[in-house]
Structure 1
Amino acid sequence: MILSQTALALIGLLLAAWTLAAAWAFLSARRRERRAEASQRLTRRLSRMIDEAPALPLLVRSDGRIEGPARLAAWLGLDAMPGYLSELDAGTKGLSEFQLGELTTAVRRTQKTAAPFKLVLTPRGSRRSLALRGHLADPQVSPGGAALVWVFDFSDSEAELRRLRDETSAAQSRFAALAGLIEAAPLPMWSRDPDGRLQLVNTAYVAAVGGASAESVVEAQTELVEPVDGLSAAQVAQQSREQNMPLERVVTATVSGPQGNERRSLRVTDLPIGSEGVAGYAVDIEELEEQTRAFRAFRDAQRDMLDILSAGIAQFDAAHRLVFANQPFLRQFAIPPTWLLDAPPFDRVFDKMRDNSRLPEVRDFPEWRRERQQWFHSGDTREEAWSLSDGTHLRVVAQPMPDGGLLLIFEDRTEQLQLSATRDTLLRTRTATFDNLFESLAVFAPDGRLALWNRRFAADWGLDDAFLDEHPKVEPLLARVASRLKRPAQVEALGQVIRAATLERIERSGRAALADGRFLEFAGVPLPDGNGLLTVLDITDSQKAQAALSERNAALVEADAVKTRFIANMAYEFRTPLTSIGGFAEMLEAGVAGELGPQAREYVAAILSSVHRLGEQIENVLDLAQSEAGTLPFQREPVELRSLIVDLLRQRRERVGQAGLTVDLRGTAATVPVEGDARRLSRAFAQLIDNAIAATPSGGRILVEVTRRPRGAARVVVSDNGPGMDPATLARALDGMRVAPDGKTVDRRQGLGLPLARQLVEGHGGKLELLSEPGQGTAAIVTLP
């Protein structure tokens, strides 16, 4: 009983221990189960995190086996993850041979050297971009030198990067283009920092300031524009930055150019560019300023020109205000110049014109004025005729201007209308004059049609009025005229004359004999208006007179031959006796017939003097007769005119002294050579000097002047202070001997000296003029070529 209780106690203890052990085992198992469940959850969570991670692991063992999630297979374009690295190239899927080679090489290098690597791969047939970052795997992950490769899908990032790269490239291209454009711009451009200092200039700026380079200009802070009103260019740029608005101004600056420094007008603009500073550019407006000045000068010149026109000009601007009116406009419409200072509108101008009674009388003036105001909107030129109450007729031209203005031209046509009326009267007068002329006239148009004729034309050619009223052309007209000619073929000459006057614009003439015995002379004259005038004159009587004149002309030719023979005979008959008388007288004077007494010697001297004088007169008569007959011979040789005059004066020194006269020789001291006959010229000037000596009373004065004219002609003046001649005597002085009115005797006018001198001078191509006034003396002026 005692054993049993002890056994039971032991069994109870054993059972208690077993229960405790079972309870401990249960609790331990429960704890391990919870730990395993936590590990599984962690594993699932980590697996899920890896599946959701932007990077997937790829474990490559040293034998080439690979481990990786299924998601990585999808990234590589494979249906499932292969077992080996070489199986990533699945032909049409996975990596290309080249890409797989790069990956294999990088993995082998990492497994051997533990050097990390980076690759970017794009699987076949996929736009996915994969970034691979490989390194040696931790031994706890995979012992034995495996390589762990992290694969990143940066397709979106790559697209974004590509887009950013494209935008960056485009921005760089645009910036390069903009920089190139600014650099190549022909106008100076620059940029300033927030402190107003130059930080960038283009080539045009460097050339304008005459700098060596942009860097030197920026370093020297060389400004293009000088300070204006105490403000420098940098200060004006600071004002633009402070006001945050562009500032524009026109200044004058010294700009370096191909021809040196020049003062040019520039439009300078400064514009703020945010926090970067202020940019600026300068536009050369010198040509624009010159054009503006030229336009103002042209406008002023145009208005000055309009002021001197006879037509009135009024110019309105686009606002319908009068901006200019010339002086004729003010005079035509009695408008004071001060009234235009306020630039009155169109309505007020017309009201003022109406108040001055310088507009036509109309029933509804406001409506009439509104109609004229529509001229501003008209697309073409309008023209009207105004008749004013005082009889003035105005031609009004309204010309719309491109700028919306209007130009009004008022031309006074009153005088033209009067001239038109006068012209109509003149035309009627011309028609009446034509019809009453003794000469027949006809006017032909350029097309050969008869335009105008008089009654004498129809009568001369025997044409009826009904035919002429049809204004026929030349051909049918000539056909009718031909039947009235003595020789019808002569009508062709008439047609040629008409065509020459109308088409060829030259003058021609001709004659025609009519069948009735009349003779007509016709001529064609081109008229300024393009027509041709045919004049026809009946020369029947003149033809008869011409025949008679021909007969008389033959008789005159025979008489001229007789006169020539008479002159030759007279020269012989006069000179032979005179020579004999002179010779005998000289023999008596020499004592051939014995010694003569004093009185006999005086008689012989008188005879010799008379013979000499008579010989000179005979020579004068013969020369004058031969000159008038045109048979006087001239020799052409160089003659020194001044020496010839001096010799003539020296020969007459005794005679001048006896007459108590004074001779004054003036003119150039140089020689005056001419071409001519020295003997004939000596005789001509001797006659002039002798006439001056004979016409000058004692104590008088004779002036002889020899000069050379600017064009090479020689000029000799022989003047005296004698009694002179009245106009009637002066007119007859050069006539000499003429046949008397009775036709039988000789009428001796003023002797043979002056006529002979005139003939001799004119025979040398010269000219003799006589100037004389009663009581003032006489002057003979000889001009020789």
Structure 2
Amino acid sequence: MEISPVLLPIIGLMLALWTVTAMWLMIKASRDSQASAAHKKVARRLSRMVEEGPAIPLLVRVDGRIEAPDRFARWIGLDKVPEYLSELAGTDDRGLSEEQVEELSTLVRRTQKSAKPFKLALRPPGSRKSLALRGALADPAVSPSGAALIWVFDFTETDDELARLGEEAARARDDFGALVGLIEAAPMPMWFRGADMQLRLVNKAYVEAVGAKSADQVVAEQIELVEKVGGRSAAQVAQQSADRRQPIERILSATINNARRTIRVTDLPLVGEGIAGYAVDIEEMEEQAREFRAFREAQRSMLDQLSIGVAQFDAQHRMTFANQPFHRVFSLPPGVVNERTTFEQMLMVARENGRIPEVRDFPAWRKELGEWFQMDEPEEVAWPLPDSTHLRLVAQPLPDGGLVLIAEDQTEQLALSATRDTLLRTRTATFDSLFEALAVFAPDGHLELWNRGFPVAWGLEGEELDGHPQAEQLLEAISKQLADPKQISEIGQTIRSATLDRKNRRGRIALADGRTLDYAGVPLPDGNGLITVLDVTASQQAEEALRERNRALEEADAVMTRFLANMSYEFRTPLTSIGGFAELLSQGIAGDLSPQAKEYVQAITMSVGKLTAQVENVLDLSQSEAGLMPLRKSKLEMIPFIEQIVRKREDRIVEGGLTLDVKGNASNVIEADRQQLQRAIGHLLDNAIANTPRGGRILIDIAKRRGQNRIVISDNGQGMSQHELARALEGIRMSADGKGIERRQGLGIPLARQLVEAHGGALDIQSRKNAGTTATITLP
């Protein structure tokens, strides 16, 4: 079969056309496939964006079925999204409540019927989330059957923020109201200007200050509180403060309540608001400042007249004032105040002039003194200077951080005080060493001075006189010790006669304990009165004992009586007079004495003391021999008692180059007459000191054995032979004819033995030549 030549081109053309068509279809299919993949990718991305978006879509169909992501179920507390809208109500605080579902259903049905959108806010029970629902009729492209599309928003944070902002706004309104009330009630004028510098608001104090009727009148008439100053009005100054954006404060005078007052005016710019201002009345402050300046000038003028150096430093440690005595004390050059010299520089200048104490580390010492500025209490120090000057410094910190430094030269005062203390100690020692009991009464009747024997003589405790009682109180205590309390008036008359009448008066009185005292009142040159008391019991008892002796001893009794009488009245009275006159001479009653005359007076006083001691020894020895030794026993702690005896002889021990040791039990206590036992032990100790060469040793051993107290006084001195010891123990004896006294040796050892025996004890003395002496006192 032959093919027509015309048909071949047509077939070829059709094949070509089919090929082209097939290729186009293939290309189009590829493009559609890519477009479909792109659309799917976009759909997935959009779905993911919706899933991650802040809002969740909820589609509610006409039949009540719902469509929503699972995230919506988690928001309302469900495990999954239910199928119908009515199933959103859960149990056990899960899902929405019945009321919320009912309200949502009503709004959805209304939207489906009328296409009216709605808004709803709700909080699922048991959840902290706050949800906002915005519903509208769904687009037909979304759901062509008239479904409702609800967008659910989680505005929990926004709701909390709104609640917080609401609270802050309420608080701000309350604060603003309180601030307005505070400004209105403020006692100082306050105002506010707008951006045009016109008054817009003033408080009540402003209205009263300018004398207006109301705040509206002030604002309407623009009544200014402050007049023009230097050609500038108050509004112009406020404009200047606004331009600078800085507060302007000035002090000026203004008329307030029809009176000229000094005020401090402050204009305070408020950014974007205007200018606030207030005025503080400082008239009283200025008046106080003027008074303070006048007071300071008067004070500094007064300080310049003082003999005590005073300087003042400010909080920067700079000197602001120093009077002339301060310049003189520290040898400061002129101009230190004008040059504002610092505290440290002042110390440097004083150090160069030798007006501070010698210190090892001056920088550290100066730094330590710099701490005076931070102290809360005044600091007082003493500065001994190299030239023997003694300064007393008082550092008084000031409230403003400054310091007041007071310097007083006490060199002369300390010298006078030392001299006075020496005289007082000498007087006290003299009084205490006298045998008589002495007391000095002031003209007003109070007891000023007394020796140790005064309370003992009257049977009083020493503590009763420590308060320096009045004469009436002392006489009341003494009256209890008298045999006849009515005789106390005689002692009062003696005190009054010596102090007020300036007359001598004497008397004798008996005590309830059987003792008899002689007393006398002597007026002193300084207006005081001296009362001397002497215990004459022993002499009276001796006299009575002598009268009772038999005729064979009448002569001996007469001798003893005369001896005691002579010792009591003929020796003691002149000695007392000599001692009194010597004391008056030493006190300058007869005029100032030359140094040599003073030495003579001191020698007289010493001789009187020694002679008085000898008289006392002889008297006590005589009383002891007659068996009339009075004893007033009390409990004595042995160690302090012995130490007191040793202390009185400390100078002699030191001068003799001796060593003295005291051993014993501190708890050892005995009952004895303090005065008599002290004299007995003192005589034995004096004998040991006198007979022990330089470098020797004295030992006092106190012990208690078999119920008896033993006091052993031993030395390694010269010692005595048996013959010398026998003569020392004999002491004073009557002469062979019985008409005189034969003195064999000193009175100390015999008197000590008799005093010990008067206590019911015994004294045993053992001595060997050049081997020392041992005296043993045994007391019950």
TM value normalised by structure 1: 0.46
TM value normalised by structure 2: 0.47
